[in-house]
Amino acid sequence: MTGEDFTAWLAHMELSDAATARLLGISRNTVVKYKAEGTPEHFGWACAALAFGLQQWKRPAG
């Protein structure tokens, strides 16, 4: 995920840097870095899941 895409995701989600840091379990400084330099690939997947309202995966009962 490019920095431009990450910044667009933040705007779409209406999240501040601090809220994003809490949501993704990273520091605010890392949020700032990702906006400038892009994210690791797995953050793109996490951001997509959050954008579509998906919850953490849980093993099905049974």
Per-residue model confidence (pLDDT) at position 57: 87
- Name the nearest CA neighbour of 47 among 24, 31, 17: 24
The confidence band for 21, taking pLDDT boundaries of 50, 70 and 90, is very high
Domain definitions of the chain by residue range: 3-51
Sign of CA dihedral 14, 17, 18, 21: positive
User: C-alpha angle with apex 52: 62 to 48, nearest 5 degrees?
Assistant: 100
Per-residue model confidence (pLDDT) at position 56: 86
**Token reading at 54:** 């998906």
